Chains A and B, each alone.
Chain A
């Protein structure tokens, strides 16, 4: 499921672009992040994915590991992928963020995709869309907030 959107942050584009290269900060926005360690270009993250929306008493959160890294970056664009396993199922999150100056502010457009693999089986097809949307929206909202509070 592909989601996309746009927002404006009240910070100059250079600052926002610098932030987009600061993986240590962006990492903290990954859904359900518990802790992470760096191994070369890779960020190995322990996550707990909140699946309580699936309304299943056994499965409120599921544990997993993701490896996050930059796929591609240019002056005005960063693409981050996070691949790994949750509950034995492969899972993938890709976020692309592009910036353009808008006077003193920055216009940010983003697109993101989340794949749940076999997890669909236990979460149920209908809930998986909601879960992807929720996780992506939370991640983007977290990134937006971090951009808003950038210090010069």
Chain B
């Protein structure tokens, strides 16, 4: 064995898996059919969950998020806005839920603090003034693309290879073992040999697996949609104080505000349309929380697919994590795992646990405990000589000190992302 591993899917799960496998010394190659984070990881709500949202109904997710929120903030604070979050009760029933929520947060070690509505409304004047009960929690906001590119660059600097715009057509199987993949990119279609394949295509798994003749894990793809409003109406993550439902989170992201989410069911996760009547329902919910939105039109809607795992076969109490690393050996196939479930907030954890799992399979190496520091990644990559567009880097450098310095910051991610592809 040459310990050659392919990771399919450049969302947050595949990126962290690639990074941790590279750190463990594997010869790892990531394939992404579009750009980095062009799937759900580039179309989510932007929250680095504190865990509070899940504290009442999903203890496992809540614990995972609470831990990861701290870890990610420590390793990548440059990409995180430490806004904090608030749960807001608009009626008595919601205030009652708030008491349960507060107890559950305490039990799970999620820092929460009740603050007076008058005090809160001074901080968030656009929130409905009839707010009755307010709970502050450590929710944060994560800048998806810049963060995801940093993970990719870190993997690259640790020896991984990454091909974007490379669609994996098929996982090649011979006599019950994975032999590699067939991939098509700008240079045509080719077969590549690998000892092991990690399928991190998440919500899009079904298509790839069925094309490869592999049994599909029990996925329940659901579309989630969000509405974008021009302007920052709030300074922090505003959650409605009730069981997770539609239209109950509103947050600032860069220069816009985002309302979400709306869950809808679709036939085909690769091709769908969300009905405007359904969007209106979410908007009505959002207007209750932020009345000023009532007089405005959102500027756009974006949607993506949630990789929900059908765990009906297992009792929730048995489950120890919110995601699954599915081995296909039960279907008589060696050398392939599929990753399903999780959240953007827990993408690092999934990547780490997958790398541990795969390392265990190879049995001839220890997992690297190397500390990951994503705050210095861009700086180190700039100096590494690996950037393919030094002239663009210089142009951007020259913008320092100008009125547009901060507005142009995200351009650095694009320049670096364009340097990643080796197809």
Report A's interface with B, CB cutoff 8 A.
46, 48, 50, 52, 55-65, 85, 87-89, 117-119, 121-127
Contacts and interface: CB of A to CB of B under 8 A. Distances in A.
A119 B242 CA distance: 22
Given A55-B311, A63-B246, A89 B306 contact: no
A61 to B, nearest CB: 4
18 contacts: A55-B57, A55-B58, A57-B58, A60-B57, A61-B245, A62-B245, A63-B281, A64-B281, A65-B277, A65-B281, A87-B278, A88-B265, A88-B278, A118-B265, A118-B267, A121-B265, A122-B265, A124-B312
Interface in B111-131: none
Interface residues of B, number: 36
A63 B247 contact: yes
Contacts of B278: 85, 87-88
Contact of A87 (B57, B221, B244, B264): B264
Contacts of B281: 46, 63-65
Nearest to A48: B245
B243 A126 contact: no
A122 B221 CA distance: 7
Nearest to A49: B245
Given A85-B278, A121-B222, A122-B222, A57 B265 contact: no
B61 interface: yes
A58 B265 contact: no
B220 interface: yes
Interface string B222-250: 11100000000000000000111111000
Secondary structure type dominating chain A contacts: mixed
Contacts of A121: 220-222, 265
Given A57-B322, A60-B243, A64-B281, A122 B308 contact: yes
B316 to A, nearest CB: 5
Contacts of B267: 118
Query: Which residue of B244, B262, B277, B316 has the most chain A CB atoms within 10 A of its CB atom?
Result: B244
Given A55-B316, A56-B308, A60-B243, A89 B265 contact: yes
